[in-house]
Amino acid sequence: MRMPPRPLTLRGRLIAALLVFSAVGLAMFAGASELLLRHSLLNRADEQLHHFPLHRIAAAERPNPQRLPSDYRLTVLSPDGTTAYELGQQPGQLGGPALPALDLATVRRRGGTPFTVSDRAGGSAWRVEAVELPHNGIVAVALSLGSVDVILRQLLIIEAIVGGIVLFLVRLAVGAQRHRAVTGDAGMLDEVGRALTSFERGSVGQVQAHGEIWTAKADVPIHAGDPVRVVAVKGLMLTVDPEPTAKASGSATLS
């Protein structure tokens, strides 16, 4: 017979609340850590853009695409925003930074502040810095944020694993508190069994409970075969009361 769940004790509720608050705190910490890590990685990308020798590359008479690292794209534009040429885009590549309109006024208004744009093929976003060249030209250098996405995905996987473990532990802890003990004296309390002998008031007889035969006493008369419930345990002696709500067929399954 399946043990009925019991209501959570105060200790159980405190444990459950502590674990739930721990899970919520872990989720908030994970979200905050992801935001801080993204901000730090973007700042590092901005530093890389700031120190990129774009003026020297863009001013070369014969720009060499091989001088650019594979995760960079460089675009030289005229003052009205028309693209003069691009560097870094390999033949057959569909992706690349989807640059907004970048005329001279827009570039001056941005003041060299890096910004993020999407990828033309739906890939990882790009971090872009656009600056004014001598003779009113414009150069925009873009750095792929693919490595940032990889790091954040790895962090998300770790957070999901840790969160799953915490939720699993919460379920185990709450479940352990909702079910009574099944070993020792506490495990026998409230156990439903069957009287093997008849009991007179205050007499001693035998009952079958928890799959075993026990010596028991009863304070009220009980007939052989009647269902009983264990109300006290003292050593190997049980105290039982009649169990009128249990059916004999259900009690027999305990044997």
Q: What is the pLDDT of residues 24-83, one digit of tens each?
A: 888 888 889 889 999 999 999 999 888 887 655 555 444 555 566 778 888 888 999 898
Q: How many CB atoms lie within 10 A of CB 139?
A: 22
Distances, alpha carbon 45 to alpha carbons 54, 94, 100, 144, 202, in Å: 15, 23, 19, 9, 85
Measure the CA–CA gap between 114 and 107, rounded to whole angstroms.
11
Please say whether the dihedral angle defined by the alpha carbons of residues 64, 119, 139 and 112, taken in this order, is positive or negative: negative
Tokens 């721990």 identify what position? 22
The domain over range 184-252 is classified in CATH as 2.40.50.140: yes
- pTM of the predicted model over 0.95: no
Q: How many CB atoms lie within 10 A of CB 144?
A: 23
CATH number for 1-179 (one of 3.40.50, 3.30.450, 1.25.40, 1.10.3470): it is 3.30.450
The size of the chain, in residues, is 255
Q: Which residue ranges make up each domain of the chain?
A: 1-179, 184-252
Residue (of 198, 169, 205) closest to 22 by Cα position: 169
SS3 100: coil
Q: What is the largest CA-CA distance in the chain?
A: 114
Q: State pLDDT tens for residues 124-182.
A: 999 999 988 877 788 899 999 999 999 999 998 988 888 888 778 777 776 665 555 55
